Amino acid sequence: MSPPANLLAEYARHTLDDSDRAAVAEALLDERLTTGPRVGAFEAAFATRVGAAHAVACNSGTAALEMIYAALEVPGRPVVVPAITFLATASAALRLGGRLAVADVDPARGHLTPDTLAATLAALPQPAAAVTVVHLGGPPADLPALAEVARRHGTVLVEDACHALGSVETPDGAPVGACTFSRAAAFSFHPAKTITTGEGGMVTSPDPALAEAARRHRNHGMVRAPAPLRADSLATAPWYYEMHSLAGNFRLTDFQAALGLSQLTKLDTFVEKRRRLRDHYLQRLAPLSPRVKPLEPLFEGTIGWHLMGVRVEDFAAGPEARAATMTALKARGIGSQVHYIPLYRQPHLADTLGPAADPARFPGAEAYYARCLSLPLFPDLEEADVDTVCAALEAALG
C-alpha cells in the first residue's frame, strides 16, 4: 500500500509495510487475542532493545505514566512535571490523587533544567513522590544533573520518554529506557510516534517491585497465586483472585503486540531516516536564521527524533503571527503543530494550581511556547518533501 497523496498534510504519521500487516493478520488467527504470548514476547524484545531489566506493556503512554505513578504511591504527595508537556504527564498523577507542581523549562529546548527543578523542589512543603522528566521532541533532558538534584531533595526521577524511543541517555550512555538515572520510563506507541501498535505503551524499570506493581495496576489491581493473598486458605483454589488496589484495565492486545514486534525490528531504520530528514531540514532552514532556528539537542549523539521542532522569532509578536503561518502552510497542504500549550494555561490545571498558575512564574515556558512550531517529520518523507515544506515556510514568513 502506497503512502497517501497528501503525505505532508500531517506533521506526523505511522509507517507500515506488508510485514507489519502480515504479523497482525497472523495474530488474528490465534486462539488468544489478548493477554497472550505475543504481549510477553513484545515486552521481552523491547526490554532487550532499550537495555531495561523489566518491561510492562499497556494500552497507551498515558496508562504507562499512571502505572508508574501508582507504583510510586503518589496520592496526597507532590509530583513535579515540566510546564511544557502533553496533558497526560500531569493528568495521570492527578487522577491518582497526586498534587501537581509545575516547574519552568529552558526557553530554547522546552526541557526541565537542574535550576528550575531545584527551585520547584525547594518550594514544596514536603518531598515530592517523583519528578517527571519529559524528553521533548526526542532529545533527552540532562538526566545526570536532574537525578542529582532529585537525590538531594529526597525524590526520584520518572522519564516521560514517549517522544524519545531510539535516543541515548547521555553521549556515551545506554538507550533511553534503561533507566540508569530514573526509577522508571514511560513510552507511547501512538501512530505519531517512532513505532506504533495503533495505541499502546510500555513501562520500563530496573526495579522488580515497581514492575510488578505496574502489572497489577494494568489489570484491575488483581492478584492471584503465587502472590501473597489475604485469604491463604484459598490460595490454591483455581478460580480465586483478590483486588488489592483500585486500578483499571490497561491491557495490550496480542494483535497490537504483534504489530509492535514487527515495528521494533525497523526501529533503527526509522531512527536513521528521521535523522537524515532532520539533517536536510537543517541545511534548508539555515538561510532563514536567525528568524527560524531548529531546536538543538543538549548533546550530539544518537537521537530518536520525534519532532522537527523550530523556534520562529516572528511569532514572538503575538499568536496571530503563528496562526497566520500555520494557516498558510495548511493552504499549501502542509500540516504543522504546536508542542505544547503550557500546562498552567489549561483551565482545569490552572484551577488546580491556583495562584501557582500565573504565567509570570514561567518565563522560560512562555518564551518557548511563544515561538515553537513542529514541521512534518516521519520516515515516509523524502528530501524533496522537506524542500517543499521549507519553501512553503519561507513564503509564509514573507
Q: What's the mean pLDDT in 209-234?
A: 92
Tell the CATH topology of 7-264: Aspartate Aminotransferase; domain 2 (3.40.640)
Q: Looking at the chain, which residues constitute the CATH 3.90.1150.10 domain(s)? A: 268-396
Residue 227: band (very low, low, confident or very high) from pLDDT cuts 50, 70, 90:
confident
pLDDT digits (tens, 9 = 90+) for 33-49: 998 999 999 999 999 99
CA atoms lying within 13 Å on the CB side of residue 28? 7
pLDDT at 320 over 90: yes
CA geometry: angle 294, 295, 296, nearest 5 deg: 110
Whether 293 is catalytic is: no
What contacts 251, CB < 8 A, 6 or more positions away?
34, 35, 39, 58, 59, 218, 219
Q: Could you tell me the CA-to-CA distances from 135 to 48, 111, 161 in Å, in that order? A: 21, 7, 6
Residue 89 grid cell: 504527564
Q: Considering the candidates 193, 266, 273, 330, report the single residue annotated as catalytic.
A: 193
Q: Looking at the chain, which residues constitute the CATH 3.40.640.10 domain(s)? A: 7-264
Residue 31 grid cell: 486462539
> Shortest CA distance to 24 belongs to which of 40, 38, 44?
38
- Alpha-carbon span 293 to 337, nearest angstrom: 16
Q: What is the mean pLDDT of the chain?
A: 96
pLDDT digits (tens, 9 = 90+) for 323-334: 999 999 999 999
Residue 41 grid cell: 514476547
Residue 228: band (very low, low, confident or very high) from pLDDT cuts 50, 70, 90:
confident
Residue 14: band (very low, low, confident or very high) from pLDDT cuts 50, 70, 90:
very high
The CATH architecture of the domain made up of 268-396 is Alpha-Beta Complex (3.90)
Write down the pLDDT at residue 3: 57
Per the document, the length of the chain is 398
CB 156 within 8 A of CB 72: yes
The pair phi, psi for residue 136, each rounded to 5°, is -60, 125
Q: What's the mean pLDDT in 49-53?
A: 98
If you search the block for the grid coordinates 531533595, which residue do you land on?
Answer: 153
pLDDT at 2 over 60: no
Q: What's the mean pLDDT in 376-385?
A: 98
Q: Using the Cα atoms of residue 56, residue 57, residue 61 and residue 64 in order, give the sign of their dihedral.
A: negative
Query: Facing residues of 271 across strands?
Result: none
- 151: part of which helix (H) or strand (E)? helix 143-152
Q: Is 153 left (phi over 0), alpha (psi -120 to 50) or beta?
A: alpha
pLDDT digits (tens, 9 = 90+) for 109-158: 999 999 999 999 999 999 999 999 999 999 999 999 999 999 999 999 99
